[in-house]
């Protein structure tokens, strides 16, 4: 074969044909073709494109079809191989002495430090409480119900019994994020004629606006969407995630800022509230956060998975 290929042959397959290559073009890695290898599989392995392999080896279509097991391919611009711990390897595949491990991806899920206990703080105040979710009988303890009713009272002082399942959901969130502190931005709110959502779960002790200390709201939002029969609201220009208990799961995004009418990502999203429904005294300003503007609505019938447009309902997960 021309262009420096170490041998010629045909490899059968694609559903039967095996396509692979080799050459002496200048590159980082030399790959020996093995049984079952294809150009696409080799490209995937080294995170390059099939075209870059073909060009690096100066192969024609005919050359590619005549390759065989044992031929050597030059793979262009490949990062040095890593060992299982992310350390650089030498040419023999062994970790180089003193090589630094690859940085670990940021994760916020962690083993609960105090499983079954939530650490709750009322935002913009010094009130804090540690609550055991369930008693020995597996039910929400009466003392927990009373404490949550107090810490989730309205800005004016009015209170309402809090739905037991909502407290259980907060326990699941707490356990998932390693028992981090939960800040209550808004809980119970008495009905007001000026509220944007006329049938808000906040009016019945079935909803909470909250944040998890040290965890981005986007991460909290994504986890809440995995919970069964939960309403989840995301407010990019505010400081909290909304969660409520309901018959069927729902998700919405509201791009409004405090004091503005709701600007939902789509019509008929079954939203529970607008940011202006949350009392100003209970909302803390976002630090160093530029307002996020909504993208234009997609044409009817189109589908998307971006956060600023309509998203499909998350697949429910069993409660912990």
Delimiting residues of CATH 3.10.350 domain(s) in the chain? 1-81
Closest CA to 168 of 250, 245, 248: 245
| CATH number of this structure's domain 1-81, picked from the four choices 3.90.1580, 1.25.40, 3.10.350, 2.30.30 | 3.10.350
Give the predicted TM-score (pTM) of the model: 0.59
Delimiting residues of CATH 3.30.1380.10 domain(s) in the chain? 117-282
Bridge partner residues of 186 (DSSP): 209
Q: Are strands 230-234 and 207-212 parallel, antiparallel or unpaired?
A: unpaired
Query: Tens of pLDDT along the chain (320 residues)?
Result: 444 343 333 333 333 333 343 333 444 588 888 877 888 888 878 888 888 888 888 888 888 888 888 888 888 876 555 544 555 555 555 555 665 666 666 779 999 999 999 999 998 789 999 999 888 788 998 999 999 999 999 988 999 999 999 999 999 999 999 999 999 999 999 999 988 888 899 999 999 999 999 999 999 999 999 999 999 999 998 889 999 999 999 999 999 887 788 899 888 889 998 777 775 434 434 333 445 555 544 444 433 333 333 333 334 344 44
CA–CA distance, 188 with 167 (Å, rounded to integer) = 13
Fold exhibited by the domain 117-282: Muramoyl-pentapeptide Carboxypeptidase; domain 2 (3.30.1380)
- What's the pLDDT at 306? 33
- What's the pLDDT at 227? 95
Sign of CA dihedral 293, 216, 240, 124: negative
- What's the pLDDT at 37? 82
Closest CA to 234 of 266, 198, 191, 196: 266
H/E segment holding residue 207: strand 207-212
Cβ burial 278-302 (10 Å sphere, 16+ → b, else e): beeebbeebeeeeeeebeeeeeeee
Closest CA to 240 of 187, 290, 198: 187
């Amino acid at each position: 074969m021309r262009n420096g290929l170490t041998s010629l042959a045909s490899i059968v397959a694609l559903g039967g044909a095996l396509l692979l290559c080799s050459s002496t073009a200048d590159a980082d890695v030399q790959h020996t073709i093995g049984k079952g290898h294809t150009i696409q599989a080799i490209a995937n392995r080294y995170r390059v494109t099939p075209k870059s392999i073909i060009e690096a080896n100066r192969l024609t279509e005919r050359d590619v079809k005549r390759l065989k097991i044992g031929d050597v391919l030059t793979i262009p611009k490949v990062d040095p191989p890593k060992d299982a711990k992310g350390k650089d390897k030498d040419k023999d595949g062994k970790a180089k002495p003193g090589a630094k491990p690859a940085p670990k991806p940021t994760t916020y899920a962690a083993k609960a430090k105090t499983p079954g206990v939530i650490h709750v703080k009322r935002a913009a105040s010094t009130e804090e409480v540690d609550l055991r979710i369930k008693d020995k009988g597996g039910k929400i303890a009466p003392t927990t119900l009373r404490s949550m009713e107090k810490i989730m009272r309205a800005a004016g002082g009015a209170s309402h019994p809090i739905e037991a399942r909502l407290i259980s959901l907060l326990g699941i969130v707490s356990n998932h994020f390693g028992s981090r502190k939960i800040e209550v931005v808004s809980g119970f709110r008495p009905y007001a004629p000026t509220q944007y959502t006329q049938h808000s779960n906040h009016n019945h002790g079935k909803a909470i606006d909250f944040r998890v200390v040290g965890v981005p709201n986007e991460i909290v939002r994504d986890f809440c969407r995995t919970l069964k029969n939960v309403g989840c609201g995301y407010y990019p220009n505010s400081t909290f995630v909304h969660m409520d208990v309901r018959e069927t799961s729902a998700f919405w995004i509201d791009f409004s800022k405090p004091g503005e009418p709701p600007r939902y990502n789509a019509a008929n999203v079954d939203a529970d509230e607008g940011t202006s429904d949350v009392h100003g005294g209970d909302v803390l300003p976002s630090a160093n956060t530029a307002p996020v503007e909504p993208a234009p609505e997609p044409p009817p019938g189109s589908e998307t998975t971006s956060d600023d447009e309509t998203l499909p309902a998350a697949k429910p997960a069993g409660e912990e």
